[in-house]
Amino acid sequence: MKQRDAKGRFSKVVKGYKAFDLVDGKLMCREMVYKIGKTYKHEGKIQLYKSGFHFCINIASVYNHYTFGCVICEVEATGEVIHGDEKSVTNSIKIIRQLDEETAKANSGNRNSGYMNSGRRNSGNRNSGDWNSGYMNSGDMNSGRRNSGDMNSGDMNSGDWNSGDWNSGDWNSGYRNSGDWNSGYRNSGDWNSGNWNSCDGETGYFNSQAPDTINVFNKKCDRKVWETAKKPAFIFFSLTEWVRFSEMNEQEKKENPQAETTNGYLKKLEYKEAWAKSYAKATAKDIKFLKALPNFDANVFYEITGLEVK
């Protein structure tokens, strides 16, 4: 028997996948029992999400409609078929075989331990990028969820290296920032520790213009003086770093069981720890630039970083 395509033409059998509950060893869907190898007919009109036998063309789409505890079977639609965005419905369906767990995970990429990954070495689910331990990431090396950028430990970031959530910029530890390097929230500018600012380097709230005078080392400083001052490279550091599996200690491997699959994990650094790691790479020129910063105060620097500069 033939089936109709999207243009109403007749074509051949359609292969797909259908989820069932396993009850007392029996395949069940909506209180109906199914058996491997049998064909089932629906009498009357078929309609998406209302009547007929529903199935998915893409195995990954199954888990958008059913839980991970279901049983997945390969099926063939041998009658009329109506296709939707993810689901299809037919009036004649044959149950071909039950898929084993590994096949049902629906990974098209390699070395995934999670489900429905098209990327590689993911331990989370629904990742199209690589090396993710979180879920639904299109970028790489994310431990958070729904990131399209890379190396995010927060959730739903489109930028890179964010430890906060909902950032479209990069290197944010705060939330919902479109700029870069913000520790505050909802900033469209850069380097803000305050919230709701569209300018840069603001510690206050709801500012569209940066003030002419700022605080540097707890003292007033002309903004232009600060902006034109040469800065040491080591003050531009990250609060996260990717640790490869080969470099992890036993405690880290125990605390991050997904790391073998992702070949590492995204480590969050304590603030002073991050300062110390970056400062260890400082050159003599960096130290010179540091001491030449406006209002430089070694005691204040130590209070912030835990580093002594002699």
Residue 269 in this model has a pLDDT that exceeds 80 = yes
Q: In this model, does residue 239 exceed pLDDT 70? A: yes
- Non-local (6+) Cβ contacts of 43 within 8 A are 91
Span 164-190, average pLDDT: 92
User: pLDDT band at 278, cuts 50/70/90?
Assistant: very high
Would strands 81-83 and 213-216 be described as parallel, antiparallel, or unpaired?
Answer: unpaired
Three-class secondary structure of residue 53 per DSSP: strand
Nearest CA to 258 out of 108, 143, 119, 98 is that of: 143
Rounded to a whole number of angstroms, the CA Rg of the chain reads: 28
Q: Is 112 within 8 Å of 38 (Cβ atoms)?
A: no
- 252-278: b or e for each residue (b if 16 or more CB lie within 10 Å)? eeeebebbbbbbbbbbebeeeebbeeb
pLDDT for residue 68: 56
By percentage, how much of the chain surpasses pLDDT 70?
95
Region of 186 on the Ramachandran plot (φ > 0 left; ψ -120 to 50 alpha; else beta) = left
* More confidently predicted of 198 and 62: 198
Q: What pLDDT band is residue 67 in, cutting at 50, 70 and 90?
A: low
At residue 49, does pLDDT exceed 80? yes
Answer yes or no: is pLDDT of 249 > 70.
yes
Mean predicted confidence (pLDDT) in 64-77: 81
Range 231-235 average pLDDT: 94
Rounded Cα distance, 192 and 213, in Å: 15
User: What is the average pLDDT across 18-32?
Assistant: 90
One-letter amino acid of 255: E
Pairing of strands 81-83, 240-244: unpaired
